[in-house]
Amino acid sequence: MINVCWVYPDGTEHNASVAEGVNLMEAAIANDIESIYGECGGSMACATCHVEVDETSGVAAGQPFAMENEMLDMVESGRTPTSRLSCQLVASQELDGIRMKVTW
């Protein structure tokens, strides 16, 4: 299990432990995180699981995949240098302690 944290625009934090191997879009839905919908089921065909990784937590956002990159350009709230589709972030020890800003 790893610890993950979603931060809402008003600053409130929502923490959960997530089993390794689970993608963080699925984890968000399982934890009723607002504004994460994952409508395309993780096929990088929508951008409804967009998060901004807060690298001050010590966990890096990493590089988006090519298809993911294109979808990130279409995020309505605008993409940032640490934007990711959370369906492409799979829980692993490397991501333990990750903080993600949710946008709406």
Would you count residue 85 as binding another protein (CB under 8 A)? no
Comparing CB distances to another protein, the nearer of 3 and 48 is 48
Would you count residue 47 as binding another protein (CB under 8 A)? yes
Comparing CB distances to another protein, the nearer of 5 and 40 is 40
DSSP letter for 86, please. Answer: G
Given a contact cutoff of 8 angstroms between Cβ atoms, the answer to whether 103 and 50 are in contact is yes
Instruction: Tell me which residue of 27, 91, 24, 17 sits closest to 52, measured CA to CA.
Output: 24
Would you count residue 41 as binding another protein (CB under 8 A)? yes
For the chain, how are helix, strand and coil distributed in percent, rounded to 5?
A: 20, 25, 55
| Binding residues vs another protein (CB under 8 A) | 29, 32, 37, 39-43, 45-47, 67, 70, 73-76
